[in-house]
Amino acid sequence: MKKLIVCVLILIFAAFPVTAYAEGWDMSVPTEITTEIRELFDKAAAELVGVDYTPVAVLGKDDGTYCILCKASAVYPDAAPYNALVYVNESGIQNIYELWIEKHAEKQAPAEAEAGDPDIQYVMYLGTNDKDTNKPVFTQAEAKEKAKEILIRHFGGFTMQEADGGWIDEGTVFQEYTLVIYLSDTTKEAVHAAADELIEAFRQSSVLIQANPTKTEFYGS
């Protein structure tokens, strides 16, 4: 674990000025995930859907906010695990930064030849409960059709899967029918334009979007 922490700190200092990151932060706190910190983290992370975060170590603390190194994995088949910095306090999750150490490792070791062209796969997690009432906006069948109607106008193609989301709020367990949308050969701007329309149509406060580097190949014999 110490090796992982060192690698993460190198990435942080490479990406941000040291003074900007360290200002106000106590970097000497114990790295151990105590019971108190774990309970704080679990309570805040219960609001997240689509990605599982496992706390590994505490990297710093600033006025009640912890910077926690986590192992992360999206909840869809064959998702590549990655590392993330999760900032959390009593109010909940404050920020999340994804760290793809593999990208930096590639600069030091020749990458094996792979078929396909570089691409970004965007994965969107669309909830279907009203943000105010927490009740379904559509039936499940209606939700799929509405999402398809919006997506086909924005993209030449898409893949969509059904999923079940869940979280705990003040001791009450909530379940939400969720649509997981996969998009390739597009841009962040196009994804955001579609997301704006989906957020309005499904009465969401936000949607979770992941941008995963990948290789795309349309193969045919």
Look at residue 100 in the predicted model and tell me its pLDDT. Answer: 60
Considering the domain architecture, whether residues 123 and 84 belong to the same structural domain is answered as no
Same domain, 90 and 152: no
**Same domain, yes or no, for 121 and 99?**
no
Residues 126 and 195 in one domain: yes
What is the average pLDDT score of the chain? 81
- Which residue segment(s) compose the domain that 207 sits in? 117-216
* pLDDT tens column, 35-72: 999 999 999 888 777 888 899 999 889 888 999 999 88
Stretch (H or E) spanning 116: none
User: Is a pLDDT exceeding 70 seen at residue 111?
Assistant: no
Which is higher by pLDDT, 100 or 150? 150
CATH of the domain at 200: 3.30.70.120
Choice between 147 and 116, residue whose per-residue pLDDT is larger: 147
Do residues 46 and 175 make contact, with C-beta atoms less than 8 angstroms apart? no
Residue at which a domain ends, from 82, 104, 126: 104
Torsion angle of C-alpha atoms 74, 79, 80, 82, degrees rounded to 10: 0
- Give pLDDT, residue 105: 46
In the structure encoding, which two tokens stand for residue 18, read together?
């040291």
CA distance 44 to 70: 14
Helices (H), 107-211: 140-154, 188-201
Percent of residues, the chain, with pLDDT higher than 90: 44
Task: Check: pTM over 0.75? Answer yes or no.
Answer: no
Total domain count for the chain? Answer: 2
